[in-house]
Amino acid sequence: MADLKDKVILVTGGTSGIGLACAQLFARSGAKVVAMSIQPDEGKALAEQMTAEGHQCLFHPGDVGCEEDVKAAVRLAVDRFGRLDVAHANAGVLKNQKITDLALEDFHLLINVNLLGAVLVAKHAIPVMRRQGKGVICFTTSVAAEIGFPEHAVYCASKAAVVALMRSLTTDHTPEGIRFVAVSPGTIDTPMLAASCEGWDKPKEELYAAVAQKIPVRRMGQPIDVARAVAFLVSDEADFISGSVVHLEGGTLALPPW
């Protein structure tokens, strides 16, 4: 288990799917967590659950595409806990459509959440970490950054941009003591994935079973699989890792294209 005791960690998109699993694992590992999302009821429930278990977790309602919201979340972490050791830019949305059918509002939503949200987290976390002389920023990208998923052109582009962002930040700021890493999940059993099954002529369970059989490890990923990897990457045990993407896709990327 990665040692996260007393680390102050901000998680965006922290009340659902991968972000929820990360926030829970970090808090249960002794970290002081600030979870940010646009889901107030789920955020309140998370904070209450972690507090009842004897852990430290605050909820901050906010949209990662709004600079003032991100700035306030970073400020909350620093004001309440005195520092910010880790920022996990995890919030994301998924919209699928062919580019010829693209609605501009969907384009702006994907870019504002998936890319601008990551940019804003970095913009406001880096100055805090620079003053400390140490910190880690982790981004949740996707294998969609490397695979041309049908009818996901803008989503794929937004996730590829996050990888490029992470690598550029590494060259600019890792010499200042700040590490940058990314996790690239494949097919993970999350509410966002479940929502993408709506409208198909088969039930979700049947679709999931078919997908699992195509993955070399013969199962879909779970949010905790990603959370464990993030916990290691942001821990001091990983302090020689910066500018790297860790793929969590059960071997999918190793498959031949036939």
Residue reference for tokens 């582009």: 157
Q: CA-to-CA distance for 23 and 94, rounded, in angstroms?
A: 21
DSSP class per residue in the chain: ----TT-EEEEETTTSHHHHHHHHHHHHTT-EEEEEES-HHHHHHHHHHHHHTT-EEEEEE--TTSHHHHHHHHHHHHHHHS---EEEE---------GGG--HHHHHHHIIIIIIHHHHHHHHHHHHHHHHT-EEEEEE--GGGTS--TT-HHHHHHHHHHHHHHHHHHHHHGGGTEEEEEEEE-SB--HHHHHHTTT-SS-HHHHHHHHHHHSTTSS-B-HHHHHHHHHHHTSGGGTT--SEEEEESTTGGGS---
Q: How far separated are the first and last CA of the chain, in Å rounded?
A: 38
Q: CA-to-CA distance for 165 and 192, rounded, in angstroms?
A: 24
Is beta strand 56-61 parallel, antiparallel or unpaired with respect to 86-89?
unpaired
- Catalytic residue, candidates 155, 188, 208, 238: 155
Has 208 been annotated as catalytic? no
Q: CA-to-CA distance for 33 and 231, rounded, in angstroms?
A: 13
Query: What residues act catalytically?
Result: 155
